[in-house]
Structure 1
Amino acid sequence: MNSQDLQSNATLKDVAAAAGVSLATVDRVINGRPGVSDKTTRKVNDAIERLNFHPLAAAAELARSRPCRFAVLLPRGDNRFMADIADNIRAQAAWFRARRIAVEIIETNVFDADTLAAELAALTGRFEGAAVVALDHPRIRAAIDDLVESGMAVVTLVSDVPSSRRAHYVGIDNIAAGRTAGSLIGRFLGGRSGRVGVVTGSAALRDHAERLFGFGQVIAEEHPGLSLLPPVEGRDDPQQNRALVARLLADAPDLVALYNTGEGAAGIGAALADAGAARRILCVGHELTPDSRRLLLDGTFAALVVQDPGHEARSMARVLRALVSGRPILPAQEQIRVEVILRDNLP
C-alpha cells in the first residue's frame, strides 16, 4: 500500500448520496427500523456494500484488537482480472488502516506447484491471515494445511482447494459458471452441429476444471449435435492462446464454437482475426477486461460469464478479518454471483 491508496472512510452522507435517499432513510435501514420499502432497503444495502461502510467499526476495532497482517497471493503476469482484484484490494487501504490491518500483495507463479508451495511456506510466522489463488495440487494442500496448523487463517480466492484445511472459499460456483457458458453456446448455435474447442488456463486450477466440467455436462445432456474437442492449456497467456487456437482452426474445419475458461482472450481474438473466422466461430469466455470488452463490442465474443472482482476483494477482507477476530461470517453477504454480460448490457 502507498500513500496514494489512502482515502477517508465513507460516511452516512456518502451512503445516502450513493443510494439516492435521505440520511434519515439510511439511518432507518442500518438500525432496522420500519417504514422503508424492500426496494429502497436493497438500494441502501448495495450502497453500504460498495462503499464498505461500517458505522463506528473503526473505533470499536481499535478498542479491542491488535494490529495484524494479511498476505494475498495472486498470479504473476498480465491477467487483467487478477489485476482488478489487486486494484480493489488497494482501494480498501483506508478500511484496512482503520482496523489496524496491513496487507501485502504477493505475485507469484500459481501454475507451478513448487513455486507456489514455497511462497506459502514463506508466510509462516509473518502473517495472521492469507488469501491465495490456489492450484489444486497435493503440495499446495499440504502447504495450506501447514499454515493452518501454525495458527494462520487461510482462505482460497477465485480458485479453491476444498480438500485442504482452508477456512473459507471466496469466489463463484464455477460448475454453475461453466454450465451457464454451455447453455449460452448451445442456445446461440440454435441446433447447429459441429465441434467445440475449449481453451483453458490449467486443468490443475480448480476454477478452470470445474468450469470445464459444468460446460461438458450441459453440452452432453442438452446438445447432442455438438462434440467437445480435448481442452488445450494456454496458462491464460495471450500468445499461447493465439497459437493454440490457430492450430484448432487448422485441425478442425467443422469448428463451430470456442469456450475460453479463463484469461488470454486477446490471443483468441487475434487467432480468429488471422484466419478470417471472427464472428463466424461463436465464442464465449469469462471476466470483463479491456480485451474481452473490445472483443464483445466487435462481435468476436457473443457473451461473457463474469464475477465481480470488487465484491471478491471486499469479501476476502471481511472473511479474513472475521476469522482472525473470531467474528461470524455472514454467508449471504459473501455469496459471489455468476453474471452474464452481452454487448447489449455492458456496464
Structure 2
Amino acid sequence: MRPTVHDIAAAAGVSLATVDRVLNQRPGVRHVTREKVESAIRELGYVRDVAAANLAKGRTYPLVFILPASDNTFMHELNAEIRQAILRSPAERTDIRTIEVPAFDPAALVAVLEGLSREKPCGIAMVATDAPEVRAVVDRLVHAGFPIVTLVSDLTGSLRHHYAGVDNIAAGRTAARLLGRFLGPRKGKIAVLAGSMLVRDHRERLEGFTSVMAEEFPDLAILPVLEGRDDPEIAHMLIAEALGNADIVGVYSLGAGNRGLIRALKEKAVDRTLTVIAHELTAHTRAALIDNTIDAILNQNAGHEVRSAIRVLKAKADGLAVIEAQERIRLDIFLKDNLP
C-alpha cells in the first residue's frame, strides 16, 4: 500500500499542515522539523502524485504554440489540432493560445520568444526556424526555467526539452528508397522541391534522401533543390519550369506547397511518366494519390504531435519524467491502396 501524507505526519510526529508546507517548500517550518519530515518521506518511500495535487488545487497550465503564418495545408491542419486541444482545455486544465510568425523568419521568432519571457507561460511549443539567434534565445529561456518543445521541425544543438516530430533523416531515406525502387532500371534526373533550407526538417530530409540516392541509385541524378517557401504559387512556378527538362523521371517534394506541385504535375505530366513522392496526407495529396498524380505520401500525425507537446510541457512544468515511448511520433507511408 502506498504511503500517504498521514503516514508521513505520524512518522515525523507533526501535523498534516506541516507536512504540506514541507512538500510544497513553503516557509514557516523550523529546520529540525523539516529534516524530520524529509527523513520520514525517504524512509517511507513516499512519491508525490503531482498531477493529483495539481488537480486538487485547480491548477491551470498556460501554454503557447508558435506557428509559421503559411498558406500550406499541413500548417492549417496543425492549427486545427491545436483548436481541438483548446476545446479539451477544461478537462486537461490547460489555457492554450497560438501566435503566428512569418515563415522562415528567425528575427520574428526571436522577438516573440523574448516577449513570452516576460509573460511567463508554463510552456512553449514552437515550429523552429534553425538559426543561431533562435538557439540563443531558446537556451536563455530554458536557463530561466521555461519548458520548451520543438514541433515538426527541431532545433538541434539547443537546450530545448523535447522534439515532437518524426525522424526526418529517416523520412528522407525512406523517400529515396521508395523513389528508387519505383523507378527501377530507369535513368534520369530527380527534381527536389523544398520549403526552405532554413528549417532543420527540410535539411534533414534532404540529407537522408541524397545519402540513399548516392549509395544505391547512382543512375538517378538529383537536380539543385528548388525552394518554394511552402507557398503553393511559388511551388507551382518552380515545378512547372523544372518539368520542361525532359530528363526528369521523378519528383520528391520534401516540404509543403503541394497544391502548387499537384497543379503543375496535372498540367504537364498527364501521361504519368513521372514518379512522385511527397509529404503529409491532406485532402489535396489524398486526391492526388487516388488519381495517380502522386505515388506515395510520407505522413506525420499532427494530432499526435500536438497532444505529445502538451503532455511533455505539463510534465516538465511539474518536474515529472517524460515517457519517451509514448511520445515517439511514427512515420506513416501511404499509397492509394492503404489510405485511412
TM-score (norm 1): 0.80
**Superposed counterparts of 1:6-25, under 5 Å:** none
- 1:82 matched to 2:75? The reply is yes
How far has the Cα of 1:303 moved from its partner?
A: 0.2
CA distance in 1, matches of 2:248, 2:113: 41
Pair 1:312 & 2:337 matched = no
Matched, 1:147 2:141: yes
Map of 2:317 onto structure 1 = 324
In 2: Cα distance, 1:72 partner to 1:93 partner: 11
Residues 1:61 and 1:211: Cα distance change in structure 2 (over 3 Å): same
**Alignment equivalent of 1:342, drawn from 332, 335, 338:** 335
Gaps of 5+ in 2: 1-48
1:231-285 CA distance string (max 9 Å, x none) = 01001111000110112112x2100000001111111111122224562211100
Q: What residue number does 1:106 align with?
A: 99
CA displacement at 1:327 relative to structure 2:
1.3
1:207 aligns with 2:213: no
Which residue is equivalent to 2:211? 217
Rate the CA distance shift 1:106–1:305 in 2: closer, same or farther, 3 A.
Answer: same
Alpha carbons 1:191, 1:223 under 8 Å: kept: no
* Distance in 1, Cα, partners of 2:246 & 2:260: 19
Go from structure 1 to structure 2 and tell me whether the alpha carbon gap of 1:224 and 1:104 turns closer, same or farther (over 3 Å shift): same
Identity %: 45
Cα deviation, residue 186, structure 1: 0.3
Given the alignment of the two structures, is residue 256 of structure 1 paired with residue 249 of structure 2, yes or no? yes
Larger radius of gyration: 2
In structure 1, what residue type is equivalent to 2:101?
Answer: T
Q: Identify unmatched segments of 5+ residues in structure 1.
A: 1-55
Contact 2:300 2:329 (8 Å CA) reproduced: yes
Residue 158 (str. 1) matches residue 140 (str. 2): no
Task: Give the secondary structure class of the aligned counterpart of 2:192.
Answer: strand
SS in 1 for 2:235: helix
Poorly superposed stretches of 4+, deviation over 4 Å: 56-60
Residues in 1 aligned to 2:177 and 2:269: alpha-carbon distance in whole angstroms = 26
Give the secondary structure class of the aligned counterpart of 2:117. coil
Match 1:122 to one of 85, 96, 115: 115
Q: In 2, are the aligned partners of 1:286 and 1:306 still within 8 Å (CA)? A: yes
Question: Does residue 1:61 correspond to 2:54, yes or no?
Answer: yes
Question: Match of 2:223?
Answer: 229
Shift in Å at residue 300 of structure 1? 0.8
Which amino acid in 1 is paired with 2:268? A
What RMSD over aligned residues (CA atoms) do the two structures have, in Å? Answer: 1.8
Q: In 2 relative to 1, CA 60–91 (structure 1 residues): closer, same or farther, beyond 3 Å?
A: farther
